[in-house]
Amino acid sequence: MTPDLNKSLLKEFDQECVPRHGLPGAAYVNESFYELENNYLFSRAWVFVGFAHQLPNTGDVLPISVAGQPLFILRNGAKEISAFHNVCRHRNLQLVDKPANCGRLLRCPYHSWSYDLNGKLKNAPFFGGDAKQQVSGFKFEENGLVPVSCATWHDWIFVNLDPNAESFEEFIRPIKKVLSDTDVTKYRPIATVELGQVRTNWKSLMENFIEPYHVQFVHQTTTSQPLQDHYPVIEGKCLGSAVDLSKEQIANAGKGTLGVSSRYLTLFPNFVLGTYAPDQIGVHLNVPVDTETTLQFRVIYVHQDASYSDAETQKLKDLWYAVHREDHAICERLQTGRHSNISTQGGVLSPYWETSVRKFQELVANSIRPGLAS
């Protein structure tokens, strides 16, 4: 699983080696900007929302929120994962308020309307007066749950609210190209690192993961990956960085630190995947709560042929918890700084190390631009 990315991209970056401004601070603290993101970015993109292993059994349901819309995902009778708007068609009550197993029917607690695992309305008791009285002009087949486009890649669930969105296969094509030598389907989850709410905008966490510039300063005690060995990755909407270490560097890495060849990849807007040679993958989910808060957790995967003891797994969890906490402290201070009037110009981005951040910010800006014109 040694990274084999195209380092010739650096030559292209060197040709235009000039600092460029980033997004203004308002993009991270302004409620109106966050509303634009919900209306024009998250409502039109394939958004990463959860993990298939969270729904192991038929009837498992999980409430989620995308672009401010209440949704839920479930495992149906065919063992497939699907998504629906999380509202009863009767009075629009939120149907699912916590992870659960609904059995074979999803029942509204308000007036007991019930739906099967394909979203079809099966029962509307007393709607016509008596228990099973029919109502003229009311058709069960027209009052089922409203579905949302949903797709699963290995263990990772995505939804899209836009009926005219690009196909899911087209969406994941860039990251699959970059991961051409890594078969992610051969990796299994072994642990979840609960990271809770971080007091920062979702974009700060994404951008922090994308760029390697901060690693040697923020992660001095938790990583052994010299900055000079990193390089940026830009492949369509797959953005990030990678680092190739020699056998000698790996052998001399600090004990208990991350000292392996790695790829730090994202798929716009919010999918994050890291590969860590020879046998680990990490995927973490960033869920925007509001302009200034993001919920985050990470799932650790190992190759199907790898064997980790409970103690080794705990060491992995401890390492990644420490790494993330270092990032959180920085990102929370970023959030504070972006309230300053000085942040109006957006700071400056390194023309060498932060090119992928610039691309991410361009994608954000282009996504919300239609809302600025209306």
Q: Provide the 3-class DSSP secondary structure of residue 181.
A: coil
Cα angle for residues 74, 79, 84 (degrees, 5° grid): 25
Query: How much is the average pLDDT of 245-265?
Result: 76
Burial class (CB in 10 A: 0-12, 13-18, 19+), 16: exposed
Residue from 124, 174, 125 nearest 153 by CA = 174
Q: For residue 299, which phi and psi values (nearest 5 degrees)? A: -115, 130
For the chain, give the percent of residues with pLDDT over 70. Answer: 93
- Give residue 277's pLDDT: 86
* Residue 87 and residue 38 in one domain: no
Give the neighbor-by-neighbor strand order of the sheet with 114-116: 105-107, 114-116, 121-123
Query: Model confidence over 119-151: pLDDT tens digits?
Result: 999 999 988 888 676 788 889 999 999 999 999
CATH number at residue 265: 3.90.380.10
Predicted confidence (pLDDT) at residue 4 exceeds the cutoff of 60: no
Is 176 inside a domain boundary?
no
Residue 4 lies in a domain: no
Could you tell me how many helices (H) and strands (E) the chain has, helices first?
A: 9, 19
Residue-by-residue DSSP string for 154-185: TTEEEEE--TTPPPHHHHHHHHHHHTTT--GG
> What count of other Cβ atoms lies within 10 Å of the Cβ of residue 22?
19
Name the burial class of residue 126, with classes exposed (0-12), middle (13-18) and buried (19+) by CB atoms within 10 angstroms of its CB.
exposed
Q: Please indicate, yes or no, if residue 250 is contained in any of the structural domains.
A: yes
Residue type for position 357:
V
Give the pLDDT of residue 10.
Answer: 33
| Domains held by the chain: number | 2
Structural contact between residues 46 and 36, judged by C-beta atoms closer than 8 angstroms: no
Q: How many residues does the chain have?
A: 374
Average pLDDT of the segment spanning 62-77? 97
Mean pLDDT of 245-270: 80
Domain ranges, residue 55: 47-152
* Residue 248 confidence (pLDDT): 76
Residue 15 reports pLDDT greater than 70: no
From 152, 170, 191, the end of a domain falls on 152
> Would you say 372 and 36 are in contact if contact means Cβ atoms under 8 Å apart?
yes
For 325-353, the pLDDT digits (tens) are: 999 999 999 999 999 999 998 899 999 89
Q: Of 131, 152, 173, at which residue does a domain stop?
A: 152
Helix (H) or strand (E) holding 355: helix 355-373
Q: For residue 159, is it within any domain?
A: no
**206 and 245 fall within a common domain:** yes
The phi and psi torsions of 283 (rounded to 5 degrees) equal -130, 130
DSSP state of 196: E
Residues 35 and 74 occupy one common structural domain: no
**Residue 320 parent element (H or E):** helix 310-337
Mean pLDDT over each residue of the chain, to the nearest integer: 90
Query: Is 145 in the same domain as 227?
Result: no
Q: pLDDT digits over 80-117, tens only?
A: 999 999 999 999 999 999 999 999 999 999 999 999 99
Token readout for 58 is 């038929």
What is the per-residue pLDDT across 304-331, written as a single tens digit (0 to 9) for each?
999 999 999 999 999 999 999 999 999 9
Alpha-carbon distance of 241 to 280, in angstroms, equals 17
Q: Are residues 194 and 304 in the same domain?
A: yes
What is residue 48's three-state secondary structure? strand
In a domain, 258, yes or no: yes
- pLDDT at 246 (0 to 100): 73
Task: Say what the pLDDT of residue 82 is.
Answer: 98
pLDDT in tens, 149-202: 999 999 999 999 999 999 999 999 999 999 988 999 999 999 999 999 999 999
pLDDT tens per residue across span 19-33 = 788 899 999 999 999
pLDDT tens-digit readout, 252-261? 767 776 767 7
Residues 205, 331: contact at Cβ < 8 Å? yes
Q: What is the DSSP letter of 345?
A: G
Query: What pTM does this model have?
Result: 0.91
65 and 38 co-located in one domain: no
pLDDT value at 49 more than 80: yes
pLDDT value at residue 13: 33
Contact of 22 with 342, CB cutoff 8 Å: no
36 and 64 inside one domain: no
pLDDT exceeds cutoff 60 at 12: no
CATH of the domain at 124: 2.102.10.10
Do residues 241 and 335 share a domain?
Answer: yes
| Distance in angstroms (rounded) separating the CA atoms of residues 366 and 293 | 23
Inter-axis angle of helices 202-210 and 310-337, nearest 10: 120
Cβ proximity of 204 and 333 under 8 Å: no
* Strands 20-21 and 105-107, bridge-based pairing: unpaired
Peptide bond into 56 cis (omega under 30): no
Share of the chain above pLDDT 90, in %: 74
Task: Mark whether 350 and 324 lie in a shared domain.
Answer: yes
Does residue 293 have a pLDDT over 90? yes
Question: Which residue, among 97, 53, 114, has the nearest Cα to 79 in the 3D structure?
Answer: 53
pLDDT beyond 90 at 245 = no
Specify the long-range contacts of residues 12-17, CB closer than 8 Å, at least 24 apart: 13/232, 13/351, 13/352, 13/355, 14/352, 16/351, 17/351, 17/352
**What pLDDT does 226 receive?**
74
Pairing label, strands 47-51, 262-267: unpaired
Residue 9 has pLDDT above 60, yes or no: no
Q: Are 51 and 32 found together in one domain?
A: no
Cβ–Cβ < 8 Å for 282, 293: no
Q: Is 18 inside any structural domain?
A: yes
